Amino acid sequence: MKRKCSIPTPLGNMDAVAEQGALWGLWFAGQRYQPEISVDWVEDPDHPLFAALRGQLDAYFAGKLRAFDLPIAVEGTPFRMAVWALLRNIPAGTTTTYGTLAVQLAGGRGGRVPSAQAVGGAVGHNPLTIIVPCHRVVGANGSLTGYAGGLDRKAALLALEGVENLRQGV
């Protein structure tokens, strides 16, 4: 059974979904690619996992947490899962590009480098916004591009982490 709750943050409310004691989804309310929240999912804001998530989000937005430590259970295609695994290795305060991620993926694909656009599609469908740090991926020229939660939020998250000298997307 999936459990859900809404969590207020400085960048707007977030919808959280958990299943079997693991975080299954976290999106800014109304974020692009967010699945429909089912009426069958149980509203359970007091669930211990959501309490831990609120605490870690509060610490992150206060600048006191750089990496999250929560049980997660993401679901996706093997390609998306590989991209999301790479995202989890991008340290706070740094960025990488879609093209760099594509080259990193080539090792697990027999040397075939997927397109940066394919990587961008997988990044955009990340089900755990902030937890799996898709906001740390920028365009080849360092521009802010492609954030399902909105470019203003992406810029705010990167600024919170101390990333400077970013260009607005074209």
Query: Catalytic residue positions?
Result: 134
Angstrom distance (rounded) from CA 91 to CA 42: 34
Give all strands (DSSP E) within the chain, no chain letters.
2-7, 14-19, 22-28, 42-43, 96-97, 137-138, 143-144, 167-168
- Helix-strand-coil percent breakdown of the chain, rounded to 5? 35, 20, 50
Instruction: Measure CA of the first residue to CA of the last residue in the chain; give whole Å.
Output: 42
